[in-house]
Copies of this chain bind each other. A is one copy, B any other.
């Protein structure tokens, strides 16, 4: 069914399309008589007019669309981010396109190309390893882009993130001060800078202590199996041990392992996990975890992006939010 256009309204109301456009957009500058205004609004109503934003976009060069690229929208962490971004974007009048990169630069590039062709006004991205080229391409054409959660080592663009290194340092110190004899860091075998920061903060404080380092590096594509194997090889119940899981996925896999093997928390081992998820509530012990201020980060990300959209500046302003350790009962 053909949809009614501004032209149809004009014809029926007996005015020009210009006049219709003016009243539909409520422009105050151009004074249209109340009579024709009312007439036009009436006609629009009766023929069930829906504005065609694509036509408007073409003319105004603004689509009011923004693209969000996450690693995987089915991951709790990213779906929570997406929700906050959605709410915030709506407030600014933007509609959200969403895509999952699956941590591959190819899919990531495909997504930036796609979004760019769809003329999104800007993108919020969680860049993957080796996505520099794709991002650089965007930057070269002064495309508004803001990173969230992650950042790129060699490309300087605005973004929001947490104090990855510092929060790990502080967690490590906490555990050291509690007298743990063994502290296991469970992280990804990756080049993702924010995760390296997470690990580096931990390693630094461990190095400054008397405690021997024990890092389990997990393949991003083989989480469950790797975590099980890693923990099996590393946990020494004869020592006072704490485990620090540096992501929600790692935490969930690790806690699953502990439950399955009947290892009690915090009696046998202590645990700190990353990110908030309802899943932790089902664990026999309430799990201490690192909380990221997702809502605040989303608000700031949209603010940053909107600013870039309205007035592009080639700066790389990064906003760092403090993550917070929420103490529950999983650390002795």
A residues sitting closer than 8 Å to B (CB atoms) are 1, 3, 48, 50-55, 57-58, 63, 65, 72-76, 79-80, 82-83, 86, 95-100, 113-119, 137, 140-142, 252, 255-256, 259, 277-284
Contacts and interface: CB of A to CB of B under 8 A. Distances in A.
A54 B48 contact: no
Most chain B CB within a 10 A radius of its CB, from A97, A98, A115, A282: A282
A141 B2 CA distance: 8
Contacts of A118: 53-54, 65, 95
A172 to B, nearest CB: 24
A280 B72 CA distance: 20
B82 A73 contact: yes
B279 A256 contact: no
B259 A51 contact: no
Contacts of A52: 58, 117, 119
A99 B86 contact: yes
Contacts of A119: 52-54
Contacts of A142: 1
Contacts of A54: 54, 57-58, 63, 118-119
A54 B98 CA distance: 18
Given A52-B119, A252-B278, A74 B63 contact: no
B100 A97 contact: no
Contact of A100 (B65, B83, B95, B259): B83
Given A53-B118, A79-B73, A284-B284, A48 B141 contact: yes
A117 B50 CA distance: 6
Give the 7 A-B residue pairs with the shortest CB-CB distance, closest first.
Answer: A279-B279, A79-B79, A74-B83, A256-B281, A282-B283, A1-B142, A282-B282
8 contacts: A48-B141, A50-B113, A54-B118, A65-B118, A74-B79, A86-B100, A252-B278, A256-B282
A17 B277 CA distance: 54
Nearest to A255: B282
